[in-house]
Structure 1
Amino acid sequence: MAKQKQEMQFRYYEMPEDSFVLALTGQSWVRAYGDGIDCLHFHNYAEIGVCHEGEGEMVYEDTIRHFEPGCLTFLPPNYPHTTNSKPGTLGFWEYLFVDCEGLIEYMFPRRKASARRMLDRLYRQAFFFCPGEAEGLWDKVCRVLEEQKEKGEYYRQETDALLCLILTDIVRLEKESAAVRVPIPEEGMEDGDLERLRPALQRIQEHYQEELYIGQLARLCALSETHFRRLFTDCMHLGPLDYINSVRIHSACVQLRSSNKSIRSVAFGCGFSSISTFQRNFRKFVGMSTKEWRDKPENYEYKLNQYKINRYEGW
């Protein structure tokens, strides 16, 4: 008889029109958190929370942290968690649910690679800050909460600017983890070199799932293969083939982290011709096997497949 899956709740929120943030504020959030709830939950947007009053526990899948006034949290979308007040007491939290994808696209309107890398780093882990540990972040988050409550002149513009700073601060705090870093062509490249390589870089980004030939990429750039290889390596600090495989492995990491697809399906879907070639390149760029990587704590989305998910509209 198959083992019954443990329950988990998916609590989803609707984002206000033309906004990157939904603020949950005010006295309605003075409550006994976790009362009558015995399972974890996750959201469709990133959650930023500040604790004003009360004590208790923040429970992640494999970690428990004590909270008190002055604590601040950042949780990526789909991150399992719950908040439990100390028995017999009330807590007071206020929350921001943030459309990080939309906001980061707004920050990088013409730099998709930079936007993708920032979002990838932002979603790798949750953050829990004790009182006084992140005073700059605390101040910015509280300013957003106040702007959302008061809705003064240009409050949306002020909120967007503050949220951009908040996400940037969080990305800077993100720990180095085992994930392939695809070089970003916009960084550290002369404009002329970028323009010469742009057709090849675009072809790789759009068609990495297919078989790609270095000679064809060179012809797209109107360069000899020898000149193309030399220029590409000088600019990207990777040879063309290694760069192609790094893009493929990055895509594989995203799929392994966020879906229940088989290793075989991911490997062939990302453009590798065999499982052995995929596994060899995965270890080369990530430093471990696919199973070891998939079991790491930051790959929390994959672990959702172990639960029975019940869908609820957010409070």
Structure 2
Amino acid sequence: MKTMTSAEKGLKTVQNRPFDYKVVSQPYMLPSDFPVDWLSNYIQGDNEITYLHFHNCIEIGYCLEGSGVFFVEDKILPYTQGDVSIIFPNQLHLAQSLKGKESRWHFCFIDPDALFSSDQLSSGFWDRVGTDTYSRFNNIVTPDDHAEVVWLTDRAMKELEKHGPGYESAVKGYIWTLLTLIGRKLLLQESGTAETAAGGADRRAMQQISKALEYISQHYMEPVPIHRLAELCCLSVTHFRRIFHKCMGMAPLDYINNVRIQVAAALLSHSGSSILAISEEVGYATLSSFNRHFKRLMGEAPSQWRSKNR
């Protein structure tokens, strides 16, 4: 059976992409003896998303400062300082900082096949993970989600930055363990998601609401009428509500509030703006409404959350 090349895999992904963006391939040629490349102190702006790109390797990012959202295929994932991004080969993606802000990242690019080639057990383990598990992985990992993954990423980035004696061995060790933990999480997730996947939304349904998700990501700070979202998707309001709930597991208004609160949480952590100003910035007409939604989603009042997470 013919093995698909990276370019063919990329084209297959592009053909199934949820948004009508330009797609850019950014391949990396990594040496077999040290299959890791590094991009330091990358500044991510708030430019409007006009394209998505993909790589032929794994991209791991560490957010040094700032906040924003990551677009990964059909997912819109908020990120903030201290979070780690895990992007698998041929996954369409791009990041965007909060409006009027910048974020700063370290990125490294890894070829797991080359990294594990010297060890048959590790190579066999990674082969068992399989590419079909990638799409169900939450690509943004927070310290609360998995502190070990975040710590290992931070250590690997520090070694790459300092270039001390023997740094290659240290980096390989950290990344080897990091990828093993990610692979384990993918396998455990796969074993527990058969029923969810069978009853979940298919890709065609997700494509039907993709324009609404795109619109929400750009206009969450404004009033977002449901009929406008339905029009963008060329659906009746009733049909739109039904498909949206099937895909996202919640009503459109709940999803909008979720995006607003996630952005507000990032602003509370990394800006000196007042709670009132932040509530207005993310689209709430009254402070009482913001406080109510924030406590419902985050489990505590904005002031309490800020004091713990600044």
User: What TM-score does the superposition give when structure 1 sets the normalisation length?
Assistant: 0.50
Deviations along 1:133-186, one digit per CA (max 9) or x if unpaired, are 22211111111111111111111111111111001111121144389xxxxxxx
2:127 aligns with one of 104, 116, 131:
116
Mapping for residues 216-255 of structure 1, pairs under 5 Å: none
User: 1:14 Cα deviation (Å)?
Assistant: 2.9
User: 1:114 Cα deviation (Å)?
Assistant: 4.0
2:176 aligns with one of 144, 161, 164:
164
| Structure 2 CA distance for partners of 1:178 and 1:69, relative to 1, 3 Å | same
- Counterpart Cα distance in 2 of 1:13 and 1:122: 22
- Counterpart Cα distance in 1 of 2:150 and 2:123: 29
**Structure 2 residue aligned with 1:30:** 43
Q: Is the 8 A contact 1:59 1:81 kept in 2?
A: yes
Does 1:129 pair with 2:145?
Answer: no
- Counterpart Cα distance in 1 of 2:136 and 2:74: 13
Q: Is the 8 A contact 1:122 1:171 kept in 2?
A: no
How many residue pairs align between the two structures?
183
Mapping for residues 153-302 of structure 1, pairs under 5 Å: 153-174=165-186, 175-177=188-190
**Structure 2 residue aligned with 1:101:** 113
Does 1:14 pair with 2:29?
Answer: yes
RMSD: 3.4
User: 1:115 Cα deviation (Å)?
Assistant: 4.6
| Structure 2 CA distance for partners of 1:31 and 1:63, relative to 1, 3 Å | closer
Q: Is the 8 A contact 2:83 2:141 kept in 1?
A: yes
1:152 aligns with one of 154, 159, 164:
164
2:103 aligns with one of 88, 91, 99:
91
AA aligned to 1:20 is: P
User: 1:92 Cα deviation (Å)?
Assistant: 0.6
AA aligned to 1:117 is: R
Query: 5+ residue gaps in structure 1?
Result: 180-285, 298-315
Percent identity over the alignment?
24
User: 1:122 Cα deviation (Å)?
Assistant: 6.9
Please give the secondary structure, in 2, of the residue aligned with 1:106: coil
- Counterpart Cα distance in 1 of 2:136 and 2:87: 7
Greater radius of gyration (CA): 1
Q: 1 or 2 for the larger relative contact order (CA 8 Å, sep ≥6)?
A: 1
AA aligned to 1:24 is: L
Please give the secondary structure, in 2, of the residue aligned with 1:132: coil
Query: 5+ residue gaps in structure 2?
Result: 1-19, 205-310
2:57 aligns with one of 32, 40, 45:
45
User: 1:79 Cα deviation (Å)?
Assistant: 0.5
- Counterpart Cα distance in 2 of 1:139 and 1:47: 16
Please give the secondary structure, in 2, of the residue aligned with 1:78: coil
Deviations along 1:26-74, one digit per CA (max 9) or x if unpaired, are 3xx13415x2541222111111111111111111222211111121111
Please give the secondary structure, in 2, of the residue aligned with 1:19: coil
| Structure 2 CA distance for partners of 1:136 and 1:23, relative to 1, 3 Å | same
| Structure 2 CA distance for partners of 1:94 and 1:112, relative to 1, 3 Å | closer
User: What TM-score does the superposition give when structure 2 sets the normalisation length?
Assistant: 0.51
AA aligned to 1:139 is: W
